[in-house]
Amino acid sequence: MADETIFSKIIRREIPAEIVFQDELVTAFKDISPRTPTHVLIIPNSVIPTCNDISAEHEPALGRMFTVAAKIAKEQGIAEDGYRLIMNCNSHGGQEVYHIHMHLLGGKPLGPMLSV
Ligand code: 5GP
């Protein structure tokens, strides 16, 4: 069993977070340190540490993450102007929390894809 992170406590509502969506497969909540006016994290309810650990059994949850991202983007009023979905993997990807998460970023022009 993969090690839990703080995100599992958010899923179980053991610590506070601004949850904007939750169902049996995924949870979405506002990032504690938002980089853009809209910054929501969408995560599977089961622990998948990194994108390297994704397998076919996770496809329902991963598909739901995209469906929920589109729904939240509409609800937050950023769908038409546009937004960015990002998943970081391991150290070179800048991953800090080892429970995969999709960043939904928007609410202003985001500029070039990467600044390296
Ligand atoms: P990563 O760098 O792993 O792709 O992104 C992790 C994200 O999780 C960061 O944007 C960080 O601000 C966010 N984060 C870390 N801890 C917490 C927390 O306890 N609550 C919330 N809402 N977001 C968190």
Q: With left for phi above 0 and alpha for psi between -120 and 50, is residue 94 left, alpha or beta?
A: left
Q: In what order do the strands lie in the sheet with 26-30?
A: 19-22, 26-30, 38-44, 102-106, 83-86
91 lines ligand 1 (CB under 6 A): no
Q: Which residues partner with 57 through β-bridges? A: none
Residue 1 confidence (pLDDT): 53
pTM given for the model: 0.97
Residue 114 confidence (pLDDT): 85
For ligand 1, pick from 97, 98, 100 the residue to mutate: most ligand atoms within 8 Å of CB.
Answer: 97
Q: Which residues of the chain are modeled with pLDDT < 70?
A: 1
Are 7 and 97 contacting, i.e. CB atoms less than 8 angstroms apart?
yes
Domain ranges of the chain: 6-98
Within 13 Å and on the Cβ side, how many CA atoms surround 85?
A: 15
Distance, CA 101 to ligand 1 centroid (Å)? 9
Class of domain 6-98: alpha beta
